[in-house]
Amino acid sequence: MPQRLKVLGMLIFWERRLVFLATPKAGSTAVESALEPLANLAVRRPAELKHTDLSGYRRHIEPWLHSVTGDRFTTIALMREPLDWLRSWYRFRLRDDGEAPEHEMTGLDFAGFARAYADPGGPALARVGHQADFLTAGQDRVDRIFRYEDIESFTHFLEDCLDCAISLPRVNVPPAVDVSLSPGHEDELRQVMAGDFRLYESL
């Protein structure tokens, strides 16, 4: 049985006035293992706090940080290429479902998962939201958003901010499953995820 992986949560670097918001399915065990020991506060649970989005941060956490320090903290986050992000969700659902006695994912290929995601009335297992909704709040957005695929830029930024070397070992290689899509299905997804693609292409 594969080892259940820890999930990266929100990290607060107090002295550096820096907050990492953990975009679901855009982090990794490697990132967590490197950053958590450097953080003053690491939030793993409950999920409502662990995956605090920008809107929740601005409403609840930022005012508290400001009241204590008098300073504004810089927010940073990772964003994954939208189709790869959905593929990551699919692999996660397959892995997470493996220990359940009745498997919701049984017989559901990635194309079926993508169709369910694109359907507003689709099954709950595919209602995973949008990265753009997590990373923006109206016209506001996370201060620094880095592409997950360019993890080196993220690492260099943190090394400069935290004044230390950061090494990201290669771990958590996803299972090999078919995540292909027909051109028609990909075009449909691109329309559904248009906001995500606009944000990603702006980075």
Does CATH place domain 11-202 in 3.30.70.3270?
Answer: no
* pLDDT tens-place string over residues 56-113: 999 999 999 999 999 999 999 999 999 999 999 999 888 765 555 456 788 899 999 9
- Model confidence band, residue 6 (pLDDT cutoffs 50, 70, 90): very low
In sequence order, what are the residues at sequence separation of 6 or more whose Cβ sits closer than 8 angstroms to the Cβ of residue 85? 25, 26, 79, 131, 196
CB atoms within 10 A of CB 148: 22
Q: Could you tell me the two tokens for 201?
A: 């292409």
Nearest to 16 by CA among 41, 34, 50: 41
Mean pLDDT of 135-162: 95
Q: Could you tell me the two tokens for 24?
A: 């679901």
- pLDDT at residue 176 in the model: 75
- pLDDT at residue 47 in the model: 63
- Model confidence band, residue 1 (pLDDT cutoffs 50, 70, 90): very low
* pLDDT tens-place string over residues 28-62: 656 767 888 899 988 876 666 777 999 999 999 99
- Model confidence band, residue 147 (pLDDT cutoffs 50, 70, 90): very high
Q: What is the mean pLDDT of the chain?
A: 87
